[in-house]
Structures are given as C-alpha cells and as structure tokens.
Amino acid sequence: MLYKLLILPILQLINPEVSHFLAEKLLQLPFFSYLNPINYSKKNKITQTNIAGLELDSPIGLAAGYDKNCKTLKPLLSLGFGFVTGGTITLQERFGNPKPRLFHIPEKYALVNSLGFPSIGLDNVEKNLRKSKGIKKSLFLSVSGVTEDEIISCVERLEEYTNIFEINVSSPNTSGLRVFHNPSALSKLVEKIKSISRNKILIKLPPWEDKDKDEYLDLARTSIISGADGLVIANSMPIMNNKLAVGKGGISGKVLTKNTQRMIAEIRSALGSDPIIIACGGIFDEKDVWNCLALGADLCQAYTGFIYNGPFFAYTINKKLAKLMKEKNVNSLEEIKGLSLV
C-alpha cells in the first residue's frame, strides 16, 4: 500500500529508465537480503509446481526485460518469484533505440516501450552470470538476434547457466526479427537450437488478433513440430505513439489481460496438452494467474504488474493464490486447469 500511495507516484515523475537504474542499485546493495522480509517467511507448498522436471516455488515468474543484463537475478528471486527470466541477451553490445523510448500510462496501468534490446552484450552478461551461482533451476534465459548465427552463438555460450531458453522472435521494437515469422526460417532456427542444446526451448511469440490468428497458430505449430518444448504467449502489443523517438513500440499492462487469456485458450486448444505454455501479458494479481492456468497455461510471467505493484508483488500473489485454492478445495496448481474463471 505504501508503495502504491507514495513510492510509485514519485517514481512516475522520474524518467522510467532512471527509476529502473535506482531500483537495480537498491537490489545490488550487499545487505538487501537482510532487509527483505520475504526471506523470513514460509513458502506456500500448495503453489509449488514441477515444469519440465524443475521444481519451482511459484507459478509466477519475472518476464524478460527487467534484468536485461543479469545483474540482480538472486535478489529478484528472493522477492517470491518462482523463476526469473534474464535478458533479453544479444551477442553484441546494443544501445537499443533512441530516447525517449519508455513511459508509463498510469490510468491504464500500462507501459509503452520501444527499447529495442539494449544490452551489454554476451561477453559481459556471462561475467554477471558467473556470479549468480545456485539459481540455475529458477533461471530462464531470454536470447535473441536478427540472424540465426547470433542466436545460436548465444545459446552455445549460455548452455551451462540455465535449463530453459526463451527464444524471443517477437519484439515489436527490433527490426529484423520478422524474418523468424516465416515458418520455414523459424523451423530451421528451432531445429538448429535443438541440435546443439540439451535445454528446454521456449519460443516467445508476438500477440495476435482474430484476423491473423491462423498465421500465428501456424507459427506455434511449426515451433513445436520443429522441436520446441513450449511457447511464451505473448510479447507486448504493437502500438504507434509520437511520444517515442521512433514513433512506434509495444504496450504492456492491464490492457493485455483479456487478450492473453484468449490466446492461451486458443493455443492450448490448437496444440493439445503436451507443450509448455507460459502466459505473459496483463498479469497483475492472483485472479489473473488462476484464470491463465484454468485456460491452459503452466506458468505465468509478469513485468508491468511488478512495476505497478512493487517489491511484494509476487509474494502477495503467492499468498492470495494459496488462499483462493483452499477456498476452492484445489490442492495443486495442476488441478486448476479446466476450472471456471474467477
């Protein structure tokens, strides 16, 4: 409550990239773990889950984009997330798109960004990952590039640090990625990754509307047939906005909640029960998590919900989701699948 009433309004007066920098520095303080009350709380066993052989403490994870350079993975995990997605990591250092490239829409609980994958590059990210021992089972790594070779190089180098790769072919802010929206190019990429990696591979797809549903369901099928283990549904929604230096970007936040639920239902119906499905977009509370799981998701990711709700975001969702499950006489996350929405 203090965060929403006092801290968030102040942060929204500051350039979002500056406020993110300040939050990053706070997380890096050597005594942060001692100040974090979540470290002293009991975990909710009822919200634990097993995905791809990995035991996770919660179905809610932090989406790619928050810790782009893998500097604060451990302290972020200590906030109650079941997993954290580091990245998106690129082979070479990238400065991203020109500024301004990020702003809030508070009345819509939304963010608009045209960041364009700013990154310190693989060499420097790998140095940070070497410092993050003991979190491999809870660490997903997001990788991207505008060529197949760039992505393959990243996967080869990062293999030892994670069990799950998220391959981002969906950013609306990075020119060149649309090459992988071609089923043939996507299939070739996935097959090449599977030939060099023993890790689970998730493909992060762009969002779609009814008019282009068949095109993106075809990409989803192509991903799985070619060897991907699952999908992340979906990235931010493309938007035109003259506040951005490049004039276009992606919007995330509550405006995506219903759209994400629709896409999860469509994907699960099209692909059956086997692929791992992660819901990403518009996750703000325990009801959003419940509804995505009920519609067929295995896990959920959040970014904007974390920004608007603060450091106790994941912890609060876990606590309230456990309470909701007990009220509904549900004993495991798997039992939520197919149940009514709340």
Q: Tell me whether residue 52 is in a domain.
A: yes
The model's pTM is 0.93
The confidence score (pLDDT) of residue 19 equals 84
The confidence score (pLDDT) of residue 203 equals 97
Q: Tell me whether residue 283 is in a domain.
A: yes
Q: Tell me whether residue 342 is in a domain.
A: no
Q: Tell me whether residue 341 is in a domain.
A: no
Q: Tell me whether residue 325 is in a domain.
A: yes
H/E/C letters for each residue in the chain?
Answer: CHHHHHHHHHHCCCCHHHHHHHHHHHHCCCCHHHHCHHHHCCCCHHHCEEECCEEECCCEEECCCCCCCCCCHHHHHCCCCCEEEEEEECCCCECCCCCCCEEEEHHHCEEEECCCCCECCHHHHHHHHHCCCCCHHHEEEEECCCCHHHHHHHHHHHHHHCCEEEEECCCCCCCCHHHHHCHHHHHHHHHHHHHHCCCEEEEEECCCCHHHHHHHHHHHHHHHHCCCCEEEECCCEEEECCCCCCCEEEEEEHHHHHHHHHHHHHHHHHHCCCCEEEEECCCCCHHHHHHHHHCCCCEEEECHHHHHHCCCHHHHHHHHHHHHHHHCCCCCHHHHCCCCCC
Q: Tell me whether residue 18 is in a domain.
A: yes
What domain count does the chain have? 1
**Which CATH number belongs to the domain containing residue 139 in this structure?**
3.20.20.70
Domain span including residue 173:
2-336
The confidence score (pLDDT) of residue 305 equals 96
Q: Tell me whether residue 142 is in a domain.
A: yes
pLDDT tens string, the chain, 342 residues long: the values are: 566 766 767 777 677 888 888 888 888 888 777 777 777 677 788 999 999 889 999 999 999 999 999 999 999 999 999 999 999 999 999 988 999 999 999 999 999 999 988 999 999 999 999 998 889 999 999 999 989 999 999 999 999 999 999 999 987 666 666 788 899 999 999 999 999 999 999 999 999 988 889 999 999 999 999 999 999 999 899 999 999 999 999 999 999 999 999 999 999 999 999 999 999 999 999 999 999 999 999 999 999 999 999 999 999 999 999 999 999 999 999 999 999 999
